[in-house]
Structure 1
């Protein structure tokens, strides 16, 4: 009789331990997944920030280049005009 009780308890404990182990594993996995998700979110945020900065700089540079090109074009135009005037003057003299 005692033996059977002992066996019964052993079986019960085994089941209990298995359940506890499963729970422990589940909890660990939950924690791990949460950590992964957190990191994923963090990385996404970082990437988005980088992208935003890149776009902002792109826009800034575009405007900068626009101004620069405007200046260059103006200078070219002026040079052409001066050249024409010089030629005109020269021709007038002749």
Structure 2
């Protein structure tokens, strides 16, 4: 009997050990997976950062190029003007003309917008009127119907 109980106890111990080993292994596995995930995420973040930096660099390069082009154009135009011997008075006139043109354009645009708005308003009013008329007609029709019914009822009596 003692031997049997001993055996049982030993078996229980072994099983417990096995279970705990499994538990430990599972824990380790989870830990490893977590670490892997963290690493992956970090890599991703780093890549994103790098790409952002590169894009910024590229943008700045383009900006510099554009500015340089603009400067060059201005320089060329200045040279041309000096060659032509353009007077200050002419320049002022040109500016005035431009301003006038701009103002005219603005005025025209405003007019167009106003016209559009008024047209919309008219259309809306038309629609509303139609609706009102329809309602009136419906009311009249309903009234007539009621009257007819009443008349019929009276005649029946």
User: Shorter-chain TM-score: what band?
Assistant: 0.7 to 0.9
Q: Give, in angstroms, the shift of residue 55 of structure 1.
A: 0.6
Runs of 5+ in structure 1 lacking a partner? Answer: 84-94
Matching residue of 1:18: 23
Superimposed CA distance per residue, residues 63-92 of structure 1 (whole angstroms, 9 cap, x where no aligned partner): 1111122334445554326x5xxxxxxxxx
TM-score by length of 1: 0.74
Structure-to-structure mapping, 1:1-94, within 5 angstroms: 1-75=6-80, 78-80=85-87
**Count of residue correspondences:** 83
**What is the aligned-residue RMSD (CA, Å)?**
2.1
By how many angstroms is 1:60 displaced? 0.8
> With structure 2 as the length reference, what TM-score do the two structures score?
0.47
Unaligned runs of 5+ in 2: 1-5, 91-157
